[in-house]
Structure 1
Amino acid sequence: MALDDPKTLVSTDWLASHMRDPDLRIIDASWYMASEGRDAKAEYDASHIPGARFFDIDEISDARSSLAHMAPSTEKFMSRMRALGIGDGHQIVVYDGSGIFSAPRVWWLFRLMGQMDIAVLDGGMVKWVAEGREVEDLPPVIRDRHMMVRFQNQMVKDATQVAGAAKLGAPQIVDARSPGRFSGAEAEPRPGMRAGHIPGSLNVFYKDLLNADNTMKKPAALKAAFEAGGVDLSKPVINTCGSGITACVLALAFERIGKSDHSVYDGSWNEWGAAPTMPIATGEA
């Protein structure tokens, strides 16, 4: 797959050359762990790629759920995108302030809603700024645009479906968290959360899919990373992580290698680890 693919991943050069395309829309999807002490919206207000809209991952979510940033209803998604001036016929590029971390979550959300013309900016705001490219602090000019949503049920899994997969051994469950969190050696960042992983799951740390500069590795290296983690690329996969953010980095990497039979466990460890009736395993995969 070519580096620049407007349905998965595009380079900073690609974005710079398409900035003036009338139907291009740019989204800042920065989101940070509380331990980082960063304010994504304040950073966006101070400096963002020209024309970028801010996508609030925590707000554009299912407010009825006690779990963090679960996928919103189709109605809420359409309403929020209309308010951002994003709709049918737009080519979207989404980035974040870490390189590649939270942007794939928004890329996945758009695909979940049936919107396929969206790509993650490879290297994100970090690479854009390092290259001396233009930034601004102006709010974007918003014009309403209708969006037709076609929810893709096969792309998301709930706890019951994941429990079934864990019991049957299929589909494969792949966990994007760090090896320490996966094994249970490291405490979870959320208080009161049990440590460990879903029984039978595999561990492919999302950072192992990225280069030192937080760009995504080439497809051959992505395949090697998945295979090193024990993933059978010929079989379906459910991606999971801490709260559904970095599971989407796995989803993006799978798409980059041409694998489409994957889904995301939206509740992830945030749900599983907090449920005392759910079995957990510790130690390495």
Structure 2
Amino acid sequence: MSLITTEWLEKNLFKEDIKVLDCSWHMPNTKRIGKDEFLKEHIPGAIFFDIDKFSDPLAKFPHTIPSADLFEKLASELGINNSDHIIVYDSLGIFSAPRVWWMFNYFGHKKISILDGGLIKWKNENKKIENGPEKKFIKSSFKCITKHEMLVLIDQVKENINNKKFELVDARSRGRFNGTENEPRPNLKSGSIPKSCNIPWTECIDPITKCFLSKEQLQKKFEEININKNSNVVFSCGSGVTACIVAKAFEIIDGKKFSVYDGSWTEWASQ
């Protein structure tokens, strides 16, 4: 149950093993701050998960996955236990929460779900909202079991151009992928990695409900670029966030072999 409904969460919200994480993050050019918005409104009992904080502080590129040691430390400070059923959501419906879903999967957490439609759907249904800081939580002792196969590095992407071992799917907009639209990060050229293909993350989401499209609709998206559930697929984007939306869409169609190129276009275009 890696995708849950607002109805399910409302019924199970206050169960002891449920931890709800507000993973709201916004592109730098939007001038929006996830934590500020969390303080104004969030799902009752939610904890703010700072994607920028849960990144390698020494990395050259944004959102680089942190070490297992750092992830354990930060997750423990939030009171997260390995036995918890973690529910992740964000304020845009589906945007940054899948990144956190992927991170917990990468570090071996078994019970992790995305709230389909996120805070937008929750609010549209007039469900309860609270404001202010999180309640105090007891520090835990979270432990990682890293699944290294879920992460791909730049050397593997380079090698794949001439010795194809996986399909590379870019989640950015078609304009950014084709080089006709500016990147949101200053001084970064647009374009695409050789032999990659494109499924914009926005095309996996219903524009009205902000939920994922149906399994059948998503299947057609992948079939259009000759990918099926048995393909070995690596997902990329600008900095590793929206890649995880399309990775989640692939999992919805029962795709098994998928990973994320964490450096994504920001790293590739900076060479």
Q: TM-score range by the shorter chain?
A: over 0.9
Residue number in structure 1 paired with 2:254: 258
Counterpart of 2:73? 79
Is residue 202–residue 231 contact of structure 1 (8 Å, CA) maintained in 2?
A: no
Q: Does 1:68 align with 2:68?
A: no
Which string of whole-angstrom CA distances, capped at 9 and with x for unpartnered residues, describes residues 74-118 of structure 1?
111111111111111100100001100000000000000000201
CA apart distance, 1:177: 0.5
Say if 2:228 and 2:255, in contact at 8 Å, map to a contact too.
no
Which residue in the other structure is 2:23 paired with?
A: 29
* Deviation of 1:194 (Å): 2.1
Is the Cα contact below 8 Å between 1:104 and 1:249 reproduced in 2? yes
Query: What's the secondary structure of 1:259's corresponding residue?
Result: coil
- Paired residues of 2:240 and 2:263 also in contact (CA < 8 A): yes
Q: Deviations over 1:28-60 (max 9, x none)?
A: 000001222211110001111111111111111
Superposed displacement of residue 245, structure 1: 0.3
1:217 Cα deviation after fit: 0.9
Tell me the SS of whatever aligns to 1:119.
strand
The question of whether the paired residues in 2 share the 8 Å contact of 1:166 and 1:173 is answered with: no
Q: For the residues of structure 1 that align with 2:54 and 2:221, how far apart are their CA atoms? A: 32
**Superposed displacement of residue 235, structure 1:** 1.9
TM-score between the two structures when normalised by the length of structure 1: 0.92
Task: Work out whether residues 227 and 233 of structure 1, in 8 Å CA contact, stay in contact via their aligned partners in 2.
Answer: no
Letter in 2 for 1:222: L
Instruction: For 1:204, give the aligned amino acid.
Output: I
Q: Which amino acid aligns with 1:9?
A: L
Look up the match of 2:192: 197
Amino acid corresponding to residue 56 of structure 2 in structure 1: D
1:216 partnered with 2:206: no
User: Could you tell me which residue of structure 2 aligns to residue 225 of structure 1?
Assistant: 221
In the other structure, the counterpart of 1:161 is 156
TM-superposed CA distance for 1:232, in Å, is: 4.2
Report if aligned partners of 1:169, 1:200 keep a CA contact under 8 Å in 2: no
Q: Post-superposition, which runs of at least 4 consecutive aligned residues in structure 1 deviate over 3 A?
A: none
CA displacement at 1:141 relative to structure 2: 2.9
Aligned partner of 1:268 in structure 2 is 264
For structure 2, list consecutive stretches of 5 or more residues without a partner in the other structure.
none
Which residue matches 2:135?
140
The answer to whether the 8 A contact 1:192-1:274 is kept is no
Q: 1:94 maps to what in 2?
A: 88
Aligned to 1:243: 239
SS of residue matched to 1:26: strand
Q: Which residue of 1 aligns with 2:5?
A: 11
Instruction: Give the TM-score normalised by the residue count of structure 2.
Output: 0.97
Q: Is the 8 A contact 1:175 1:204 kept in 2?
A: yes
Residue in structure 2 matching 1:41, options 28, 35, 38: 35
Asked if the contact 1:209/1:222 (under 8 Å) is kept, the reply is: yes
**Counterparts of 1:39 and 1:196, CA distance in 2:** 28
Give the equivalent residue in structure 1 for 2:169. 174
Structure 1 residues not aligned, in runs of 5+? 276-285
Aligned residue pairs, count: 269
